[in-house]
Structure 1
Amino acid sequence: MSVSPARLSAISAANNYRVTATVAFNESHTAELFGRNVFTDELMQARLPKAIYKSLRKTIETVSKLEPATADAVATAIKDWALERGATHYAHVFQPLTGLTAEKHDSFLEPDGKDGAIAEFSGKQLILGESDASALPSGGIRATFEARGYTAWDVTSPCYLLENPNGATLCIPTVFVSWTGESLDLKTPILRSAEALDEQARRILKLFGHTDVPLVTPTAGPEQEYFLIDRNFFLARPDLMTAGRTLFGARPPKGQEFADQYYGVIPERVLAYMHECEAELYKLGVPIKTRHNEVAPSQYEIAPVYENANVAADHQQLTMIVLKRVARKYGFECILHEKPFSGVNGSGKHLNWSLGNSVQGNLLDPGATPHENMQFLVFCAAIIRAVHRHGGLLRALVGSASNDQRLGANEAPPAIISIFLGAQLSDVFEQLKKGRACSSKKAGTIQLGVDSLPVLQRDTGDRNRTSPFAFTGNKFEFRAVGSNQSIGAPLAALNTIVAGSLNRIADQLEKGVADGKKLEDAVSEVLTQIARENGAVIFNGNGYSPEWHREAERLGLLNLKTTPDAAVWMVAPDTVECFERMKVLTKRELESRREIALEQYCKALNVETRIVIEMVSTKYIPTAIRYQTELARNINEIKAVGAVPDTRLFERVSTLIAGLQNELDKLTGMRGKQATLPDLLAEARHYCHEVLPQLNAIRQAVDALETVCPDDTWPVPTYEEMLFIK
């Protein structure tokens, strides 16, 4: 074991940590906690006049305009509730294009003109806020000196209280737009795209004879993977603190190869942390359902049940905040980076997506005989068409310097966007290619061979963990989203491209019926066309295999391995046409997002470059030279007594130091080149194809030194310590 003072202190602190219970579920049942800090529908009904409540519900349920009188009454009721709960401030909470959560706090108190103060909160303050937009990314939409931006209340997402030891803050979910009206956030496109999806889905449902069609909404349930390590180790690693991932670190003797982490027994300290996270999220109305160990050591997952996609996006942001905040109470650091540790699985955020309403139900439920369920097949075909035509866009929206570390490896979906349908639906669409589907494969049962065990109903298809976009029974699961990313952009994109496909299908079906065709015949023609033109995107096999990569290339599917490769698809002609036709984002707004993606990619790798230079220069080379000096002294002392020293270790260390210094010099020489490049895309490609390989070369040299230098001299916590000491 190490005797390095800093590392020894961290190991001791982690080993001696003792959990102090702060949540007693035997005293406060989860049902009592759930929604306690949310201005729920029940509270609205109890605190608002009946007419005001009905007006507010109409706005929420039909996406209609909010009346000013309603806003004033709601503001008063929310203020009174918040003050009773200890709130001193209110905050318009929004999601800028950083992908993070932003908030601006204002006090309820205002001078009363009589040397005192009163609590005020009007409908105008609830609905509209002004925030400085100059320091947040706009992708060229706003110049630095053009600072005005607006936050506007999203009435469809409930207000809530965030507690802290000294009180509480009323949080109001809002959109964020520029003075000229363009979206500067991730929420506005979700709301616009949800309206577009509702409009086009209603057209399809009307064709199938549905007259009572409530609002059709997309639903989402994002699974969140994360790492927990003792905070003492985190603070001793400048790379983790600054870049979110370890830029160095030799692999430990044991990793995840025994599969003893996945679904293993949750460590006591971790489980206590999970309990408190869940309690805090329950109070905020986040419907957390699942927790478990993930594949890699010290990796875990938390997942909610499905809810309205817009609310799910807000709740996902809250989940990341709570995971990070509560971790420190238990002496942990929660790491959300997609690939914080080399050699073990990284972390994703599977985005489960569907659509439906309160009357027609889940529109992606195939039923027992999907070949006969024309309505389902139309919606499923629309999604297949959308993903095939816009695979490049979906890949672009999950691209980042961190997620590129994960995508395409044998732990995460490949960079080729394909769809897994399972045996039953794949067979139906193969039949459709030939003109009409006439049968559906049966599910069957599983006999376990023990009388006391039940007969299991077999699903109609297996699961495929290598697929980036998989049908999992009554929803699709987009698995390429990174653990540190907001689900906002991919969610809005899914809504938009599916709405675009439904729009095309509705046009064809309405024309066919108007020309005298039976609906069944018109649907059959459309489904056959879609199956033939877009069937290449359906793949049920091993997405990791080299054979699939070759086949995907033959089929014309994109294999966009890096963010610079993928980012151009944000402004592809098909993307712009679809987003503008569905009135979700303009070409200018799409271009701004491409610029921001490339800018953030370059900045992330520039930060990593600076950390690498700093750590190699101040930690690793000095450590290695001290050991080299010790070896040289030892050699001279052996020679002095007339013996023949073994110089192989000295030569090995000397060679590694020289090689490391050479690689560092190469990296240092690259600095500044980006300033000479013509645009952001060229700069991103420079970081991707020149700087990143050089960072990896330096890492290899440092990791090799770690395996030969004495453990008591190594300056930072090792993988073995960080991943296995809980």
Structure 2
Amino acid sequence: MAATTTEIFGSMVFNDHVMKERLPSATYKSLHETIRRGAPLDVEVANVVANAMKDWAIEHGATHYTHWFQPLTGVTSEKHDSFISPTKDGRVIMEFSGKELVKGEPDASSFPSGGLRATAEARGYTAWDPTSYAFVKDEVLCIPTAFCSYSGEVLDEKTPLLRSMSAISTQACRILKLFGKTVPQVSTTVGPEQEYFLVDREQYLQREDLRLCGRTLFGAMPPKGQELDDHYFGVIKPRVSGYMKELDDELWKLGVAAKTKHNEVAPAQHELAPIFSTTNIAVDHNQLTMEMMKCVATRHGMACLLHEKPFDGVNGSGKHNNWSISTPTENLLDPGKTPMENLQFLLFLAAVIKAVDQYQDLLRVTVASAGNDHRLGANEAPPAIISIFVGEELEAIIESIASGADYIAPAKTRMELGVDILPTFSKDTTDRNRTSPFAFTGNKFEFRMPGSAMSIADANIVLNTAVAKELKGYADELENAEDFDTAVIKLVKRTIRDHKRIIFNGNGYSHEWEQEAEKRGLCNLKSTVDALPCVLERKNIELFEEFGIFSEAEVRARYEVSLENYTKALHIEALTMLDMAKKQIVPAVAAYMGDLADTACSKKALSSALSTRAEETLLAKLSAGADMLVEKIDELQAAVDGASRGDSLQEAACYKDRVLPKMAELRAVADALELATGKDYWPFPTYADLLFGVN
């Protein structure tokens, strides 16, 4: 009999339920205290936990363990060590110590470090994160860990994220204490919606660009794309449904609360959304989700594409970061029934508004990548301009606070659909805005700018830290207030007055908004190369230093890593384009022209009365296109060869300004040739094959 969902959920996770069953009471309490309050972990406790964890993992098929960490590559890393320990009689026993649980030593010079580590400086450390449960995957016990260098520099995503969570918790607790509430901690929570594409694996393997770059570098649009809006929320195809069912099962086993699945706007595009969890866990789970998406797709004869723009001409994929802040019993971004009178909510709302306005450039940096540059600003994703959508009700409240005018609450209305049998229900007091980068959606903010392939750690590090900064300023001011309520109202009013420029409820895609945003003084950082230097501004470095998130050296190192990633991604794409064009497209077009010429010659030889107009017209078009193709190949090769070898920013700018335009020109010529070349001659699957090939 098949296991039920409740039976398989978390079955491969060493979670709190398992720990409570397997650990001695004193050990469990000590570990729980470490998890809840960050208390130091006793060595003896670690030994007991390690032994219990090992026994449990072996029962679940594990033979090895790994310190599972998140370096600056955007993906996870792991080195597997077996549990075996040789005995004198030639056998082995299975052992795992507290020391092995708590600390590991991977090579720190082979991961991106932005110059913090040289090749000769190889030692690094991983340290167990007890707030994120260990799990068994592929017969390996995976232990979530932080990663740092021998000299202590942060080289991962988890460490600064945990620091940012601690910072916002400390400052939020100060604010709540002023409202008469004492809470052990405040947590930020995240629910990341993950978009992705599924294509047939055999066709995927025939495309060098998909295999090496994750996106198609060539491809003419098919006769049908997404114009009919028939894929969005459409019936899920049987093959895709089978994939989604197995993906749910695999994620549920790992404790990932996968909740929603559906077809997205573009053909072959889909989405998965989990239930909210604490930010640290949400980041870990999203990394696992992306890994499982690819693994399960292979088992179903498909390939999962997580690139932000796998196909030109149809919607790309994002990752909506739904962010909120809560105590164990209360969502601090819940307006309640009377938001105008809810001073606590208004204060936290004001802190978020000020944080996003003050650090809009830094938020833009967190979503900057070569892949996401193709997506942001198109009519499928938010624009590159950061703004906040608050909805009609909150905007009216904000205007009332700023102007001092009386606020009139909107009347609650019922939706009447004109059919007696259909239920009536309360209408929300505000609409939703899909063009907003940062939208309030009832009791949380949805940051819609992250790309689908990105780790969500960076965005949440900045959100947490920036809001912590504003809450700290508020607490410093309010702790000395004589009349607390009056001081809160005054502070909220001042914040709204000074920062309401960031609030925009209109159409973010319109040209008028771009002009208006410029008048308001908002950033419009259209590319990664435009955005990344902002991280080095003094106010941004000081933000990270103030809360101990990064040192200045670590900020500069991450800046260098991001620039290197951008340049390397475009370099690989350019070389792949050249390879495909030279070795596949040119020979394919030549072969087709040769056969057309042979046909024309055969017709003329057979009878002078036979017309060869069709062949000659098509040959002339193909010949001109082939000549242009070779010319554009040479121009792209020259652009790549001449790419600046100056500093990292100059080189990245060179790729953006010189190489990318030449790539676009080469693609345009090749795509036109695809439409004129016989399908049997074209050397790799077309968009029609890929987008409509999974049934």
Q: TM-score normalised to the size of structure 1?
A: 0.93
Asked if the contact 1:466–1:542 (Cα under 8 Å) also holds between the matched residues in 2, the reply is: yes
Partner of 1:310: 280
Question: How far apart, CA to CA, are the structure 2 residues paired with 1:197 and 1:235?
Answer: 46
Distance 1:450 1:629 in 2: 66
Match of 1:510 in 2: 479
Cα shift at 1:583: 1.3
1:602 CA displacement = 0.4
Deviation at 1:115, TM superposition (A): 2.6
Deviation, structure 1 residue 630: 2.9
Are 2:77 and 1:102 equivalent residues in the alignment?
Answer: yes
| 8 Å CA contact retained: 2:201, 2:301 | yes
What is the aligned partner in structure 2 of residue 60 from structure 1?
35
SS at match of 1:333: strand
Q: Give 1:623 deviation, angstroms.
A: 1.2
How far apart are 1:642 and its partner, in Å?
Answer: 3.4
Q: Secondary structure of 2:557's partner?
A: helix
> 1 CA distance for matches of 2:552 and 2:516?
33
How many Å separate the matches in 2 of 1:598 and 1:590? 13
- Per the alignment, residue 8 of structure 2 pairs with 33
Find out whether 1:611 has 2:594 as its counterpart.
no
CA contact (8 A) 1:133 1:147 kept: yes
Q: Is the 8 A contact 1:408 1:414 kept in 2?
A: yes
Partner SS for 1:453: coil
Give the whole-Å Cα distance in 2 for the aligned partners of 1:53 and 1:638. Answer: 87
Residue 527 of structure 1, CA deviation:
0.9
Distance 1:50 1:174 in 2: 25
Structure 1 CA distance for aligned equivalents of residues 296 and 80 of structure 2: 22
Task: Identify which range, 110-119 or 62-71, moves more after superposition.
Answer: 110-119
Q: 1:47 & 1:639 partners in 2: Cα distance?
A: 87
- State the partner residue of 2:68: 93
Seen in structure 2, the aligned counterparts of structure 1 residues 438 and 264 have a Cα distance that, compared at 3 Å, is same
State the Cα distance separating 1:637 from its structure 2 match: 4.5
Task: Report deviation, 1:389.
Answer: 1.0
Shift of 1:214: 2.1
Pairing partner for 1:712 from 673, 680, 684: 680
Contact between 1:226 and 1:299, CA under 8 Å: does it hold in 2?
yes
The residue correspondences of 1:544-623 to structure 2 (distance < 5 A) are 544-623=509-588
Match of 2:248 in 1: 278
Which of 379, 383, 400 does residue 431 from structure 1 map onto? 400
Of residues 667, 677, 684, the one that matches 1:699 is 667
1:621-662 superposed Cα distances (whole Å, 9 cap, x missing partner) = 111122223333444455554356423222211111111111
Query: In the alignment, what sits opposite 1:145?
Result: 120
Q: How far apart are the structure 1 equivalents of 2:100 and 2:663?
A: 49
Residue deviations 1:429-476, cap 9 Å, x none?
Answer: 111212477443344221111111111211121000011111011000
In the TM superposition, residue 411 of structure 1 has moved relative to its aligned partner by 0.4
Q: Deviations over 1:600-623 (max 9, x none)?
A: 000000001111111110111111
The residue that corresponds to 2:635 in the other structure is 666
Between the two proteins, what is the percent identity of the paired residues?
Answer: 51
Q: Closer, same or farther in 2 for the Cα pair 1:443/1:208, shift >3 Å?
A: same
Contact 1:207-1:510 at 8 Å conserved across structures: yes
Shift in Å at residue 128 of structure 1? 0.5
Cα deviation, residue 352, structure 1: 0.5
Aligned mates of 1:55, 1:469 — CA distance in 2: 40
> What's the counterpart of residue 387 of structure 1?
356
Task: Please say which of residues 37-46 and 255-264 is displaced more in the overlay.
Answer: 37-46
Distance 1:242 1:451 in 2: 57
State the match for 1:677 in structure 2.
645
1:244–1:337 CA contact under 8 A, matched in 2: yes
Specify the alignment match of 1:4 in structure 2. none
| 1:167-182 matched pairs, under 5 angstroms | 168-182=139-153
Deviations 1:269-318 (A, max 9, x none): 11111111100111110011000000000111111000111011101111
The separation in 2 between residues aligned to 1:424 and 1:232, in whole angstroms, is 51
Q: Distance between the aligned counterparts of 2:589 and 2:312, measured in 1?
A: 22
Q: Is the 8 A contact 1:436 1:524 kept in 2?
A: no
| Equivalent of 1:337 in 287, 307, 310 | 307
1:397 aligned residue: 366
The 3 A distance-change label for structure 1 pair 61 and 439 is farther
- Distance across 1 between alignment mates of 2:248 and 2:602: 62
Matched with 2:164 is 193
Match of 2:92 in 1: 117
- What is the deviation of 1:189? 0.8
Letter in 2 for 1:136: F
Of 455, 480, 502, the residue aligned with 2:449 is 480
Secondary structure at 1:402 match in 2: helix
CA distance in structure 2 between the partners assigned to 1:634 and 1:53 by the alignment? 82
Instruction: Tell me by how many angstroms 1:673 deviates.
Output: 2.2
SS of residue paired to 1:462: coil
Q: Is the 8 A contact 1:436 1:528 kept in 2?
A: no
Specify the SS of the correspondent of 1:131.
coil
Equivalent position to 2:386, from 401, 405, 417: 417
Moved more, 502-511 or 176-185: 502-511
Distance in structure 2 (CA, Å) of the matches to 1:120 and 1:435: 69
Distance 2:406 2:50 in 1: 55
How far did 1:234 drift?
Answer: 0.1
The separation in 2 between residues aligned to 1:94 and 1:349, in whole angstroms, is: 21
- The two structures, once aligned, show a CA RMSD in angstroms of 1.3
Alignment of 1:627-642 (within 5 A): 627-638=592-603, 641-642=607-608
Question: 2:48 — aligned with what?
Answer: 73
Trace 1:259-298 onto structure 2 (pairs within 5 A).
259-298=229-268
Once the two structures are superposed, what CA deviation does each residue of 1:377-416 show, in whole Å capped at 9, x if it has no partner?
1111111111111111111111111111111100001000
- List gaps (5 residues or longer) in structure 2: none
In structure 2, the CA distance between the partners of 1:316 and 1:436, relative to structure 1 (3 Å rule), is farther
Contact 1:509–1:519, Cα closer than 8 Å, also in 2: yes
CA distance 1:711–1:571, shift in 2 (3 Å)? same
Q: Is the 8 A contact 1:178 1:184 kept in 2?
A: yes
2-structure distance, mates of 1:60, 1:437? 47
Q: CA-to-partner distance for each residue in 1:136-176, whole Å, 9 max, x for gaps?
A: 0001111121111100000100011113xxxx111100000
The match for 2:209 is: 239
1:207 aligns with 2:175: no
Mapped to 2, the partners of 1:188 and 1:245 lie a distance apart of 31
**1:470-498 deviations in whole A, cap 9, x for unaligned?**
10110001111111111111111111111
CA contact (8 A) 2:264 2:271 kept: yes
The answer on 1:441 being equivalent to 2:410 is yes
Q: Aligned with 2:13: secondary structure?
A: coil
**Which secondary structure does the structure 1 equivalent of 2:63 belong to?**
strand
Contact 2:63 2:140 in 1 (8 A): yes
Q: What one-letter code is carried by the residue in structure 1 that aligns with 2:175? A: I
Contact 1:369/1:439, CA 8 A, preserved across alignment: no
Aligned partners of 1:506 and 1:580: how far apart in 2?
A: 19
Aligned: 1:532 with 2:501: no
Q: CA deviation at 1:218?
A: 0.6
Say how many residue pairs are matched: 690
What per-residue deviation string (whole Å, max 9, x for no partner) do you get for residues 61-89 of structure 1? Answer: 11222122211111111111112222111
Mapping of residues 212-223 of structure 1, within 5 Å: 212-223=182-193
